[in-house]
Structure 1
């Protein structure tokens, strides 16, 4: 079985705004992904301009508008689909 490497993956947890910022390296953005249980992923900001990632952002806008329940950007998709997408983006 081949492993999938992601830049960072941290389980979602309640955090203060200062600890939230300190866990995100410069040039990256934290997003919450999942349907029931949300997990926190930290991805490069370069992903934000890719058409596949923009599709996810558009779906997030349609579902949540500017009200993101986790306090950060929440993307409404299955975790395995997000991992697959970010793996494709890393391969580019």
Structure 2
């Protein structure tokens, strides 16, 4: 899987996942629902634990959770959040 060079050297997906721990992320589920919060930890199955989690459906905030666990087989993608968390921390 060689793609265009991003200047990141030989960064693997595992390296990326390690580097974003503790940072704001967006987790998109197969159902189309977004979860935004702080990535607490994750494992090789893409099971994800998050803190300060917000649930968005069609771009609208539906729920707020303290801590949340997302089972890996539901995850479509995970990305770093470009926006800062509203209640900084």
Q: TM-score, normalised by structure 2?
A: 0.29
Larger radius of gyration between Structure 1 and Structure 2: 2
Identify, as 1 or 2, the structure richer in helix.
1
Identify, as 1 or 2, the structure richer in strand.
2
Q: TM-score, normalised by structure 1?
A: 0.28
